Amino acid sequence: MDSGQATYDYRYDANLAEEIELKWQARWEKDGTYHAPNPSGPLADSTGRIDLPKLFIMDMFPYPSGTGLHVGHPLGFIGTDVYARYKRMTGHNVLHTMGYDAFGLPAEEHARQTGQHPRENTNANISNMRKQLKRLGLGHDPRRSISTTDLDYYKWTQWIFLQLFNSWYDTDLKQARPIKELEIKLEEGSIVLEENRQWSSYSDQRKKEIVNSFRLAYLAEAPVNWCPALGTVLANEEVTVDGRSERGNHPVYRRPLKQWMMRITAYADRLLEDLESLDWTEAIKSMQRNWIGKSEGAVINFTAEGITVPVFTTRPDTIFGATYLVLAPEHPLVDSLHQTDWPDGIDSRWTGGFEDPRSAIEAYRTNANQKSDLDRQENKDKTGVFLGSYAKVPVTGEKIPIFISDYVLMGYGTGAIMAVPGQDERDWEFAEVFGLDIIRTVQPPTDWDGKAYIGDGPAINSDFLNGLSITEAKQTIIRWLEDNSGGSRKTSYKLRDWLFSRQRYWGEPFPVVYDKDGLPNPVPEEMLPVELPELIDWAPRSLDENSDPEPPLGRAKDWASTILDLGNGPKEYIRELNTMPQWAGSCWYYLRYLDPFNSKEFVSEDVEKYWMSGETGGVDLYVGGVEHAVLHLLYSRFWHKVLFDLGHVSTPEPFQRLYNQGYIQAAAYQDERGMYVDAAEVSEDGRKFFYQDNEVQRSFGKMGKSLKNSVTPDEMYEEYGADTLRLYEMFMGPLDQDRPWETKSVVGSQRLIQRVWRNLVNEETGEITVSDSEPDETLNRLLHQTIDSVNNDMNNLRFNTAIARITELNNEITKLESPTPKAIAEPLVLLLAPLTPHIAEELWEKLGHETSVVYAKFPVPDEMLLVEEEVEIPIQINGKVKSKIKVDSNATDETLQEKALADKKIESLLGLNDPKKIIVISGKLVNIVL
């Protein structure tokens, strides 16, 4: 300002914004403004807020990455903050805080590249992220912030593991029970494992093994996803469809290893059924349903070579159309079922060109093994070989040939199917390739010209089932099978047990030690936590496909073997060397937020009941990205249900309402070589885009380094301030929608704040300029209409429209020629407070208030003022608006019609025509039909 003209020392610009923002952030911290009281314990207080209705609002906590935030990250955080602030102002005790999911592969990968210990690196990242988030003015209770890597936190993660280890799933009660109850049942003989065998006749070792096999956390030798490049095994959920690691895109190999598993399959039905009670989007629910993959049907026992071959089918009603069996190539019965020689006169298509079944099978298996999952997926041509043997169909006694083919998967059902080409497209294709019989058992509609018919219809060619519908036929045949020991009703799931071991350093150690017999023993609760050893050489080894996983913890020799007294005197034990997966810590963090300082329990009963109560119970609002649809949300629900069964929590579900925020995308530009160029340096001439005078092509994608299109919050603070950034992000569109970032549009949000400021404050002196005079009628009505809309929008997370309404109100205020009446200014500040808390605090203080705006009462509309005295009514002729009239808002329909017909314009348009019909919608519209 060097022109000598009026200087605006108090114009709302980035500098003033920063001054105001830092001032209030310091104040909030000092005053503990966002502290939410607990009903009891160390976080109880005397504010009286505990008597208000509670609300637990939560974000999916972030992984503290080293690269820092870009403006896309905090979108959801701002959304929950605005909502939380609104709820505080409408009389709720709001719990909102933020934690860090800091264990896991990325931390270690980063540490591996930089050579820094994961802990140091993680801590640095967390404090950096805290700083960045604090600058946004998020109203979090800082006392409740936890990190999954805190010793005091993972102690309780280990404690929960012990709950799982010490429980089994009672299928009669349909809930988890303490393992002791199982032991008692086994001793009493109310559970018998083998007929005519007493529990006492088993050896102690065997007893232990048997009990172990019932636990919810158990060891199993299972085919797992081994990723040598990451040096660890991965959960199914962490492997992409084309058989690579989700993180890093490294090849993953299937191999059997002894691993910790979590018996999530026991909960499949409850995880499925309880989805109904949740306020989640249909998209997420259907992804979970899909993942659980429940299908009801029957297992049917075919016999061949004196061996029973069980087959799972969802269509037992089609059994009369079964013309062959197919086993997965790796099915264990293949070796005992095949013949030594081909039968005479065999179809050449069935042999694969081999001399005998054994060599054909061997060649087929080798070939199938070499096929990648991607090949299998893309190449769906049906292949297979005949085993040389035949199976007997239970109902007919007929003999049908047995094949192996890779279109049958070992991992689902029984790994074997009865093929019914008439009613299954895949079987039809196979039957065509191999020249097998096709028998329709459901009558297709008369105009049916397709191949396999999947739809409903009367059963045909099916003996005693003929004429029945699919549903009836299913019931009938299952009853027959059960009566004749031909099979039984059966439900299958796609869901597999959760692989819980990782060969990594940076994770929670298992509270498990092994004694000489090699069996796992839980580390007693009072010995927790089992602390991660300090390791100098913590990096995983680079490994090749054939090597074994080599857990880094094995290198901490002093730690790995230990002397403990587990109740039978000090003995030497070997520790479990694997660590838990990253999901473990994120499974239950919401519970620790409630009672972070509790050293006796993971959460106190009292506190848990208070915060988790509700219609169906759980976190009242959980906001996060859709990418956690299956993994985190399913695991978390599972653990929560176990804790519920064992009486540690009071609700069957952890998250009552789930809301998926959209993503902020950003324009990215590529030059003619396809290389991305710095998006900040690209200019536009209206149609084309240029980088250093060369034309570049625009596309939209995730913000980030690789697309060179990141915009950081810091750049926004520098130019506009945090309130503007918050306002802009909320104004861009509905919270659940993806939207493109546009830096040039941010100014619009700043202008709103600027105008509000100017309407209330003298830019030269910084003095408040509001008047005590009464606002005029029109403005007052607008104020109350705005208050009404904003309340609605806030409740429905429609912040974009709330801001639009506030802008309209402020635009009217701007047009006033006299100072803004205080009676308008105060509610305006309150309306803005959830969205732009810093400037609201500053204005609130300038308006003479001594207490924080955070707990001021949000304005409530005066119902009387919501109804206009006079309204403008459109008049349509044949549905098109031709004129408008002003009438008293409570005018009768008769008056409305009269006035409409008397309108000059309408009169002239009607001319001599007589209206056929006149529709009057009270207070809204008149439509004249000619």
Q: Which residues, 427 to 486, sit near RNA by CB under 7 A?
A: none
Tell me whether residue 415 or residue 552 sits nearer to RNA (CB atom). Answer: 415
Cis peptide, bond prior to residue 837, ω within 30 of zero: no
Q: How far is CA 301 from CA 306, 313, 429, 481, 856, in A?
A: 12, 11, 24, 9, 71
Binding residues among 488-517 for RNA as defined by CB under 7 A = 492, 494
Q: How far is the CB of 414 from RNA (least distance, A)?
A: 7
Q: Find the radius of gyration of the CA atoms of the chain.
A: 35
**Rounded (10°) CA dihedral 391, 393, 398, 402:** -30
Q: How far is the CB of 311 from RNA (least distance, A)?
A: 8
Distance between CA atoms of residues 143 and 37, nearest Å: 11
Give yes or no for a contact between 702 and 663, defined as CB atoms under 8 angstroms apart.
Answer: yes
Residue type, 558: D
Q: How far is the CB of 436 from RNA (least distance, A)?
A: 15
Distance between CA atoms of residues 613 and 628, nearest Å: 24
Any contact of residue 228 with RNA (CB under 7 A)? no
Distance between CA atoms of residues 283 and 288, nearest Å: 9
Binding residues among 238-297 for RNA as defined by CB under 7 A = 241, 281-283, 286-287, 290-291, 293, 295, 297
φ/ψ (deg, to 5) at 526: -70, -10
Tell me whether residue 162 or residue 468 sits nearer to RNA (CB atom). Answer: 468
Stretch that binds RNA, among 95-103, 201-209, 500-508, 739-747 (CB under 7 A): 739-747
Is the alpha carbon torsion for 447, 452, 458, 459 positive or negative?
A: positive
Half-sphere exposure of 88 (CA within 13 A, CB side): 29
Tell me whether residue 223 or residue 733 sits nearer to RNA (CB atom). Answer: 733
Contacts 24+ apart (CB under 8 A), 515-521: 515/571, 515/573, 517/205, 517/208, 519/205, 519/208, 519/209, 519/212, 520/165, 520/212, 520/219, 520/576, 521/566, 521/573
Any contact of residue 315 with RNA (CB under 7 A)? yes
Stretch that binds RNA, among 104-112, 520-528, 811-819, 841-849 (CB under 7 A): 811-819
Q: How far is the CB of 603 from RNA (least distance, A)?
A: 33
> Which pairing describes strands 324-327 and 399-404: parallel, antiparallel, or unpaired?
parallel
* Mask for 897-926, x = binds RNA (CB under 7 A): --------------------x-x-x--xx-
Tell me whether residue 277 or residue 491 sits nearer to RNA (CB atom). Answer: 491
Any contact of residue 413 with RNA (CB under 7 A)? yes
Q: How many CB atoms lie within 10 A of CB 483?
A: 8
Q: How far is the CB of 744 from RNA (least distance, A)?
A: 5
Q: How far is the CB of 810 from RNA (least distance, A)?
A: 8
Distance between CA atoms of residues 181 and 167, nearest Å: 9
Give yes or no for a contact between 148 and 581, defined as CB atoms under 8 angstroms apart.
Answer: no
Tell me whether residue 129 or residue 304 sits nearer to RNA (CB atom). Answer: 304
Q: How far is the CB of 803 from RNA (least distance, A)?
A: 6
Tell me whether residue 673 or residue 815 sits nearer to RNA (CB atom). Answer: 815
Q: What angle do the packed helices 746-760 and 799-815 form, to 10 degrees?
A: 40
Stretch that binds RNA, among 112-120, 213-221, 400-408, 431-439 (CB under 7 A): 400-408
Binding residues among 587-646 for RNA as defined by CB under 7 A = 626
Tell me whether residue 432 or residue 738 sits nearer to RNA (CB atom). Answer: 738
Q: Which of 44, 184, 680, 747 binds RNA (CB under 7 A)?
A: 747
Any contact of residue 751 with RNA (CB under 7 A)? yes
The closest alpha carbon to 727, from 52, 255, 82, belongs to 82
Q: How far is the CB of 377 from RNA (least distance, A)?
A: 5
As given in the structure block, the two tokens for residue 382 are 């049906």
Tell me whether residue 202 or residue 412 sits nearer to RNA (CB atom). Answer: 412
Any contact of residue 710 with RNA (CB under 7 A)? no
Distance between CA atoms of residues 543 and 7, nearest Å: 68
Tell me whether residue 712 or residue 876 sits nearer to RNA (CB atom). Answer: 876
Query: How remote is the C-alpha of 162 from its chain's centroid?
Result: 26
> Which pairing describes strands 399-404 and 307-313: parallel, antiparallel, or unpaired?
unpaired
Residue in the structure block whose two tokens are 């099979």: 487
Phi/psi region, residue 766 (left: phi>0; alpha: psi -120 to 50; beta: rest), is: left
Binding residues among 9-48 for RNA as defined by CB under 7 A = 11
* Mask for 823-862, x = binds RNA (CB under 7 A): ----------------------------------------
Any contact of residue 527 with RNA (CB under 7 A)? no
Q: Which of 143, 605, 800, 819 binds RNA (CB under 7 A)?
A: 800
- Secondary structure of 236-276 in the HEC alphabet? HHHECCCCEECCCCCECEEEEEEEEEECHHHHHHHHHHHHH
Q: Could you please report the per-residue DSSP string of 434-465?
A: HT------B---TT--SSS--S---B-S-GGG
Tell me whether residue 438 or residue 560 sits nearer to RNA (CB atom). Answer: 438
Q: How far is the CB of 294 from RNA (least distance, A)?
A: 9
Q: How far is the CB of 283 from RNA (least distance, A)?
A: 3
Tell me whether residue 298 or residue 577 sits nearer to RNA (CB atom). Answer: 298
Q: Which of 738, 764, 862, 907 binds RNA (CB under 7 A)?
A: 738
Any contact of residue 811 with RNA (CB under 7 A)? yes
Stretch that binds RNA, among 301-309, 513-521, 802-810, 890-898 (CB under 7 A): 802-810
Tell me whether residue 677 or residue 926 sits nearer to RNA (CB atom). Answer: 926
Any contact of residue 415 with RNA (CB under 7 A)? yes
Tell me whether residue 751 or residue 849 sits nearer to RNA (CB atom). Answer: 751
The closest alpha carbon to 333, from 222, 227, 415, belongs to 415
Give yes or no for a contact between 371 and 380, defined as CB atoms under 8 angstroms apart.
Answer: no
Q: Which of 377, 396, 683, 773 binds RNA (CB under 7 A)?
A: 377
Q: Which of 66, 740, 819, 915 binds RNA (CB under 7 A)?
A: 740
Q: How many residues of this chain bind RNA (CB under 7 A)?
A: 84
Any contact of residue 929 with RNA (CB under 7 A)? yes
Q: How far is the CB of 250 from RNA (least distance, A)?
A: 18
Tell me whether residue 56 or residue 453 sits nearer to RNA (CB atom). Answer: 453
Phi/psi region, residue 800 (left: phi>0; alpha: psi -120 to 50; beta: rest), is: alpha
Stretch that binds RNA, among 18-26, 128-136, 822-830, 878-886 (CB under 7 A): 878-886
Give yes or no for a contact between 103 and 61, defined as CB atoms under 8 angstroms apart.
Answer: no
Tell me whether residue 127 or residue 372 sits nearer to RNA (CB atom). Answer: 372
Stretch that binds RNA, among 66-74, 308-316, 347-355, 826-834 (CB under 7 A): 308-316
Q: Which of 21, 141, 406, 645 binds RNA (CB under 7 A)?
A: 406
Tell me whether residue 561 or residue 895 sits nearer to RNA (CB atom). Answer: 895
Residue type, 316: P
Q: What angle do the packed helices 722-731 and 799-815 form, to 10 degrees?
A: 120
Q: How far is the CB of 419 from RNA (least distance, A)?
A: 8
Tell me whether residue 58 or residue 368 sits nearer to RNA (CB atom). Answer: 368
Beta bridge partners of 118: none
Any contact of residue 63 with RNA (CB under 7 A)? no
Q: Which of 732, 824, 840, 900 binds RNA (CB under 7 A)?
A: 732
Q: How far is CA 409 from CA 312, 386, 404, 405, 415, in A?
A: 12, 17, 10, 9, 6
Any contact of residue 184 with RNA (CB under 7 A)? no
Burial class (CB in 10 A: 0-12, 13-18, 19+), 817: exposed
Residue type, 755: R
